[in-house]
Amino acid sequence: MLSKRVIACLDVRDGHLAKSVRFVDTKNIGDPVAKAREYYEDGLDELVFYDITASSERRRIILDVVEAVAAEVFIPLSVGGGVRSVQDATDLRLAGAEKINVNSAAVRRPALIAECADAIGSQNVVLSMDIRQVTPDQRHPSGYEVVIDGGRTPMGIDALAWTQQGEELGAGELVVNSIDADGTRQGYELNLTRKISEAVRIPVIASGGAGLPGHLFDVLTEGKADAALVASMVHYGDYTVRGLKSYLHGRGVKVRMSW
């Protein structure tokens, strides 16, 4: 049986690890290469880098980080943040990323998903979505809307409709990030995650809100996610990857326990 995955997300700004709370107030918390190595040795199933560098040097910096990590971490690496073209995607793949996350640029120009799927294979294209709860209306029948540019720009698009469109265009996997839950440590948005997981055939990674091991259990069972993404929980040393996996294993969730 396939294991549920525990994925760590490292937000990288100017080559350093950063963690945001509700998408603002980012602070530096260390060296991404050292953290990646630490989590890998601790049984992490997959690693995501999110590039939040604003400077014009941004592409080179993230490529260097990915290259350094790929030389010593032998699990799938996924990279996102500012991917706007097939060229961005192939550059990151050459540096060592397995999967490429597209987000805002794909909402602005959905054909980007199909272009990336053609160039690097559907299974390597991850559609990452920042989603906010709204009052259900005609434009947002699911009660959730897509927001882009790091949570700043609402797009007037229904989140559920967008996930289905993304799957049709060739996304191989989805990251469902709840802006309402992000950084709160109050738990994942279970209702949103379950709705999306039930609406698509591709794997769903839940993101935003993890604070306690029980939150991972909830989203991997009730939330029907295939993978749970963690950040603050492990970055600040409150929990270890190994500890989270042991906890899930103890509660009967199938996770990889030998590495």
Partner 1 sequence: MPSGSAVIVDYDAGNLRSVQRACREVGLDAAISADADEVRRAERIIFPGVGAAGSAMQSLHATGIGAALVDAYRSGTPILGICLGLQISLDHSEEGDTETLGLVPGSVRRFRLTDPALKIPHMGWNAVEVLRPHPVLSEVKPGDEFYFVHAYFPSPANPGDVLAEADYEGRFCCALGRDNYVATQFHPEKSGRVGLALLKRFAEWDGHA
Q: State the CB neighbour count (10 A cutoff) for residue 75.
A: 16
Residue 129 one-letter amino acid: M
Does position 224 interact with partner 1 (CB under 8 A)? The reply is yes
CB 89 to partner 1: min, Å: 11
Q: Given candidates 48, 227, 228, 230, which one binds partner 1 under the rule CB under 8 A? A: 227
When binding is defined by CB under 8 A, the residue of 20, 36, 39, 40 that contacts partner 1 is: 40
Contact indicator for 47, 8 with CB cutoff of 8 Å: yes
Give the nearer residue to partner 1 in terms of CB position, either 53 or 124. 124
Judged by CB under 8 A, the residue of 30, 59, 114, 123 near partner 1 is 123
Q: Which of 28, 71, 141, 214 binds partner 1 (CB under 8 A)?
A: 71
Q: Minimum distance between the CB of residue 2 and partner 1, rounded to whole angstroms?
A: 5
Q: Is position 130 annotated as part of the catalytic site? A: yes
Residue 182: count of CB within 10 angstroms of its CB: 23
Residue 119: Cβ-neighbour burial (10 angstroms; 0-12, 13-18, 19+): middle
User: Rule CB under 8 A: is residue 93 a binding residue for partner 1?
Assistant: yes
Write out the two tokens for 206. 């839940």
42 part of the active site: no
Q: Strand, helix or coil at 85?
A: coil
Cβ contacts of 127 within 8 Å, gap of 6 or more: 101, 102, 103, 106, 113, 163, 166, 171, 173, 174, 175
Structure tokens at 88: 């961005």
User: Any contact of residue 80 with partner 1 (CB under 8 A)?
Assistant: no
Place of tokens 């032998």: 74
Considering only residues 162 through 221, tell me which ones interact with partner 1, judged by CB under 8 A.
Answer: 172-173, 201-203
Binding positions for partner 1, rule: CB under 8 A: 1-5, 40, 45, 70-72, 74-76, 93-94, 96, 98, 120-121, 123-124, 172-173, 201-203, 224, 226-227, 256-259
Catalytic sites, residue numbers? 11, 130
